[in-house]
Structure 1
Amino acid sequence: MFIRINDSLSVAGQIGPAEIAEAKAQGFTRIVNNRPDGEAPDQPAGDVIAQAAADAGLDYVAIPAAGGFSVPQVEAMAAALADAGGPVLAFCRSGTRSTNLWALASAMQGGDPDALIEQAGAAGYDISGLTPALRQLSAAAR
């Protein structure tokens, strides 16, 4: 199930090759993988998902994250969202990391922290713990 955050981004828990066709049918142009390979024994490898995305004509970007986020990861997410040419589907184990990374990337580009928290909350993700970081990134962008 894909969870809509806004017009540009939806998130999901782990997807596999079978979900790529559904993503294509729903109009996504890029898949962003925020899950490191080998995090769980039953997860498909990123290369398998990347190949399925390529076969379906979708862009694929891997930005694996675990145990927090680095500035390069946030910058990479911002870039992946900025040049996607359409809606993005980002996934991890539950969609939470992808939502957090989107919010940080959006704040880094000057997004309003309160609006980001509200959008995530409306989709079922509580990112209020990121408030200080979101405010700092947003202020630095202005």
Structure 2
Amino acid sequence: MPNKIDDRISVAPQIRPEDVPALAASGFVHIINNRPEGEEFGQPTGMEIAEAAEAAGLGYTEIPVTPGGFSMAQVEAMAEALGSVDGPVLAYCRSGTRSCNLWALAAAHKGGDPAELIAKGAGAGYDLSGIRPALEQLAGR
């Protein structure tokens, strides 16, 4: 189910608490929830995922992103979360797209090359070309 961007990060559509043990068994050490509460009827709450993560020995961070866009605070929080984890991270939202975009923005903010970030996103099945101007601005190019 996860779409691997690189050895440090994968993104996925909404996960369920019962998915977490398998994620832990496959090597993930941290989950980042980029989905706002109540976005869709029947989605698990962040607390349910957090409890499942804790039970499986995984770290958990919430950085909810609405479909309307990204704030600098969210970009910085994602960069901080990714920088504080030693091991593979799974970030999820409704489809995985916001998580991939936020990862790329955070990576550009830390100096990542926009062309490389776009290529990594494409390799995982996500088109990041629409945020290229933001990636270039964050990367200082």
Same fold at TM > 0.5: yes
Q: 1:56 maps to what in 2? A: 56
Distance 1:6 1:22 in 2: 19
Alignment partner of 1:99 is 2:100: yes
**Residues 16-31 of structure 1 correspond to what in structure 2 (within 5 A)?**
16-31=16-31
Q: Which letter does structure 1 place at the counterpart of 2:55?
A: D
Shift of 1:45: 0.5
Cα deviation digits, residues 14-52 of structure 1 (max 9, x gap): 001111011101111100000001000110000000000
Q: 2:71 maps to what in 1? A: 70
Cα deviation digits, residues 56-97 of structure 1 (max 9, x gap): 110000000011000010000001111111010000000000
Percent of pairs identical after alignment?
Answer: 57
**Residues 1-142 of structure 1 correspond to what in structure 2 (within 5 A)?**
1-66=1-66, 67-139=68-140
Distance 1:39 1:139 in 2: 34
Q: Where does the alignment leave 5 or more consecutive residues of structure 2 unmatched?
A: none
Distance 1:92 1:19 in 2: 14
Q: Which letter does structure 2 place at the counterpart of 1:73?
A: Q
Q: Where does the alignment leave 5 or more consecutive residues of structure 1 unmatched?
A: none
The structure 1 segments of at least 4 consecutive aligned residues displaced by more than 4 Å after TM superposition are none
Distance 2:120 2:86 in 1: 21
Distance 1:42 1:127 in 2: 29
Q: Which letter does structure 2 place at the counterpart of 1:38?
A: G
Distance 1:91 1:24 in 2: 15
The total of aligned residue pairs comes to 140
Q: Which letter does structure 1 place at the counterpart of 2:59?
A: D
Shift of 1:7: 0.6
Q: Which letter does structure 2 place at the counterpart of 1:129?
A: G
